[in-house]
Amino acid sequence: MSKVYLVGAGPGDEGLITVKGLRLIQKADYIIYDRLINYNLLNEKKSDAKLFYVGKEGMKSSWKQEEINNLLLKCAREEGKITLRLKGGDPLVFGRGSEEALFLKEHGVSSEIVPGISSSIGGLIYGGVPTTHREVSRSFHVFTGHTMDGPAELDWENLAKMEGTLIFLMAMSNIETIANKLIAAGKNPDTKAAFIYKATRSDQRRFITTLKDAYECKCNNDIKNPSVFVIGDVVQFADDIDFFADRPLKDRTFILLRKKEFNQDFKDFLIDNKAEFLELETIKYTPIHDDAFNKALKNIEAYKYLILTSRNAVEFFFKRALELGVDFRRFYNIKIASIGQKTMKDIEAYGFKADYVSEKYTSDEMIKNITSKFEKGAKVLYPHSDKAKGNIRAALSDYDVDAFEIYKNSDEAYEKMYLEDKVYDIFFFSSSEAISFNKFYPELMSKARIYSIGPYTTKSIEALGYKVYKEAKVHDSEGMIDLVKEEINYEE
């Protein structure tokens, strides 16, 4: 039997998972996850890790707890494999983690629990509400607002007498009952209360009210789960402590589809602006092993020019050269042409300098201003993807060109994920990304704000029947970021 880890993913923001929890995601062979986790955490998994979605919403579920238990057991029976049960919040705070741990023990499987930040605490913090405060609240008490049999039956008289903070989870269908029972038991009707909806997420909402007006507040604002309901004098500090309300990109979720290694500058910008984003790597890039290309690398001195039009081309070209043991000193006579500053910097990371860099970052620009300057008849090496448009190859008819497909991009291995039905801001850095995303999520594509890196990608999107919301003026990552900066400045 293998070990099972029950890991809390925190209330929603991917940065709130523990270091230990993140390391286990990176090592796990099987990951069984819930609806409320941040999907970016799944990008940290091993390439061959298998995912199982067992999400629930309210009292509805396509997976019964018994079925989840059996799935855990089935995975755990594979010797030498690591099974991870990834839950929103903390696995033992109304997460049924203890039930799963006991079930596994009964069947001879050892488990380990990794705590997570519960929304009962973390959710309040993001709403500016402290759980305790000196001379105001010296304790806090967390309750479920719903059981399998309906509204939770609690000792309302004792609850009404408690001077600490009262926190209710999963309670939205029973707010009227909770408020009435507490007031009937003697709780001051004017006690401050608050709802924090979707804590830590881009569409988080906080509503300040009183105990007597809580149900009306809930109805008037259509507050649903997942929400935290808090009652107590600590709510008075919410406006002064709140750090999350001032976020220029609230209510928006940005989808980035490139390899996550290429998104760091974009992610840093979004994180700095407290924005929510989702990385969906629908396309996987894999090397194409070609004996003719290997022979070309081993005879690298024969070439006068090397054309690298993308960051992926740089990665797969130099990786293959290293695998073959090609001495980089043999590149001394080669001139390198590239498209874009990022591609240029990736080339520099391997110890080389791009001699020609297309300023407008398009293949047409490279043809016009770079390849046209090559010596006629010179020998050119042009490694590219299996989806290359062909215009560069066609423009090199006056040269002795060896063009090779050295990597392919495919979405065959991608498993569609459950995504909330809402309007997303989707950034497409290539035509392939647009075609692939539309294949899996046409229902989201049809309502999204679509951003395109340049004219070729725009044409592909329009050919799919969609309108581009904005196209980058500069066709690189910085140009895409500038589109969002423009909107922030406009809103300000």
Of 13, 34, 346, 476, catalytic? 34
What CA–CA distance (Å, rounded) separates 483 from 481?
5
What is the H or E stretch that residue 452 is in?
Answer: strand 449-452
- pLDDT tens for 105-163 read 999 999 999 999 999 999 999 999 999 999 999 999 999 987 656 666 889 999 999 98
What CA–CA distance (Å, rounded) separates 223 from 380?
63
Q: Which of 446, 464, 450, 453 is nearest to 430 (CA)?
A: 453
Domain 285-410 CATH assignment equals 3.60.9.10: no
Q: Tell me if the pTM is above 0.85.
A: yes
What is the H or E stretch that residue 339 is in?
Answer: strand 335-339
> Contact at 8 Å (CB) between 299 and 326?
no
Q: Which of the four pLDDT bands, split at 50, 70 and 90, describes residue 59?
A: very low
Proportion of the chain above pLDDT 90, given as a percent:
81
Instruction: Reply yes or no on whether 218 is catalytic.
Output: no
**β-bridge partners, 7:** 86, 114
Q: Which of the four pLDDT bands, split at 50, 70 and 90, describes residue 305?
A: very high
Of 170, 172, 445, 480, catalytic? 170
Does 58 have pLDDT greater than 90? no
What local confidence, expressed as pLDDT, does residue 149 receive?
60
Mean pLDDT in the chain?
Answer: 93
**For range 177-206, the mean pLDDT:** 96
> Which residues does 176 contact at the CB level (< 8 Å), separation at least 6?
215
Fold match between 253-283+413-489 and 285-410? yes
What local confidence, expressed as pLDDT, does residue 174 receive?
93
Write out the DSSP string of 160-219. HH--SEEEEES-GGGHHHHHHHHHHTT--TT-EEEEEESTTSTT-EEEEEETTTHHHHHH
Q: Which of 287, 455, 257 is nearest to 383 (CA)?
A: 287
**Architecture of the 3-116 domain:** 3-Layer(aba) Sandwich (3.40)
Per domain, the residue ranges of the chain are: 3-116, 121-237, 253-283+413-489, 285-410
Instruction: Reply yes or no on whether 366 is catalytic.
Output: no
Of 3, 27, 50, 56, catalytic? 56
What local confidence, expressed as pLDDT, does residue 216 receive?
98
First to last CA, the chain: 57
Proportion of the chain above pLDDT 70, given as a percent:
96
Domain 253-283+413-489 CATH assignment equals 3.40.50.1370: no
Does 351 have pLDDT greater than 80? yes
Domain 121-237 CATH assignment equals 3.30.950.10: yes
**For range 225-253, the mean pLDDT:** 95
**For range 464-491, the mean pLDDT:** 90
Instruction: Reply yes or no on whether 170 is catalytic.
Output: yes
